[in-house]
Amino acid sequence: DNLDQTSRCGRQTQSMTGATQLPMARSIATFTAFFLLSRPETTSAVQSRYCEDEGECGYKDNGLGREAPIWTLTEANKCWIDIRHLTRVQHPQQYQALKNGVPLYPGAPNLQPQEISDIFHLSDNNLPPRLSNGGIPVLRADTEENQGFSDIYRGVGWQHEAARMLSNRIPFVVRGLRAVEELLNGLNPERLKKSYGKTKAIANIYQPTKLMTGCSDGARKAGDCAGDMTAEMSVYSLVQAATQQLDTVVPERRVRRGKAKPQQGPGSSEINKQPVNRTLYFSAKIDEGLDSLVDNVYRVAPLAWLPLATRDNFRLRMGLAELKYRAHWDGVDNFIVQVTGTKLFVLFHPEDELNLYPLRRETRRSRLTLRHLNITRYPRAKNALAFWHRLVPGDVMFLPLHWWHYVESQDPRESSEEGYWLTITRHGAEYQNSQIVTFCPEDVFL
């Protein structure tokens, strides 16, 4: 599960334990075939050279009608990818392949999207997600067998396949990571309080019958969070509420017409001890060094492959009740680690944006109520290509930047002994001008 990296002439060398060592790439042409998904005629015309030093890796034809590099190597395991190539070339080619039912790259798992209503029918009937019913690929880190498509990969190391899918920006799940299993066994409520109990954040308190729209940390702090009530809470107070089966927090603010107005009574949400609805969403930045079990998860493949963002690298998310989070996309790559409880993810390719009817003022959020879809009002939604996976404890999911996702969590009082659902997230791949900084795949291809 471990991946050690050292820099050599701007490239990375890798050694692994518990998995087959990934062979080093010998040609940028292979990178083009796997990562950029260029058509054969385009691939043959691409001029390339070895990337011996930091700097632009010389792609002359980037599919945009001019000569410019598609990606730039800046340091070990860190590449800048031209966002225009991603959105104008790679994404459209991927989407066409999905509609035609063909693999996204040679040897790729054959993804088979479903209609939105079919996804909920499958999940509500507790059927397992598989490639044949819209499920995303699942890799086993503890064996050589890859669930659902072992007939394609036939014993090739899971890290190799994870690198191929990450580089092609395809969602996938890894199970059986030793560091994650140790986290599940060790991060009990008492340890969680000891390590992160003082961690505070402004949480959403939403109506159980409505979708949670979500908002930024700044909007939560200002009390202007898409109509939701907000309250400052700590990990300690949430764990106490869950383990004692009590609601020991009260909102500090209620949003009215976009303005935050203080509630009556003491300003601290943890003094009154008045009960509120358990439908809350807590999301807080966390630092390394507070808990060794969590730190170890961030340091293993494939989570360690993403270069650190300039801010907001690690997050802890918790809830005490069922959650329905409006479909949206994130501006960073995510590795999501399910620690307790379960979460249903319904995923859509970036090219499905128009089929998901973005909100006018928040274009990265959908106006659709996916569980009760009004096809008459939103007819294009029937054309959306839906994928899904239900995260269970121990699952680690790669969610690429720009992929739309709708999220549901079951009531943790039914799905978790601890009484709360908990995920930790590793962020990477961020915007820098017209590029994104992301995983550098040059040394992990055949």
Q: How far apart are CA 206 and CA 226, in angstroms?
A: 10
pLDDT 10s per residue in the chain (446 long)?
A: 322 222 222 223 233 333 333 333 323 333 333 333 332 222 222 222 333 344 444 443 444 444 444 444 444 556 677 788 888 888 999 999 999 999 998 888 889 999 999 999 999 998 899 998 999 999 988 765 544 443 333 334 788 888 888 888 899 999 999 999 999 999 999 999 999 999 999 888 887 777 877 666 666 666 566 667 778 889 998 998 888 766 555 444 444 334 444 443 333 444 344 454 578 899 999 998 999 999 999 999 889 888 777 677 899 999 988 889 999 998 888 999 999 999 999 999 999 999 999 998 889 999 999 999 999 999 999 999 999 999 999 999 999 989 999 999 988 888 888 989 999 999 887 676 777 777 765 443 32
Q: What is the dihedral of CA 162, 163, 166, 168, to 10 degrees?
A: -120
Distance CA 353, CA 115 (A): 15
Q: Give the CA distances from residue 346 to residues 331, 378, 385, 387, 407, in Å, rounded to whole numbers and listed in that order.
A: 18, 18, 10, 6, 7
pTM of the predicted model as reported, rounded to 2 decimal places? 0.79
Q: How many CA atoms lie within 13 A of 298 on its CB side?
A: 23
Q: Tell me which residue of 51, 62, 59, 44 sits closest to 11, measured CA to CA.
A: 51
What is the spatial order of strands in the sheet that 386-391 belongs to?
323-328, 404-409, 343-348, 386-391
Q: Which residues pair with 81 in a beta bridge?
A: 71, 436
What's the CA gap between 382 and 254, in Å, rounded?
A: 36
Q: How far apart are CA 59 and CA 56, in angstroms?
A: 8
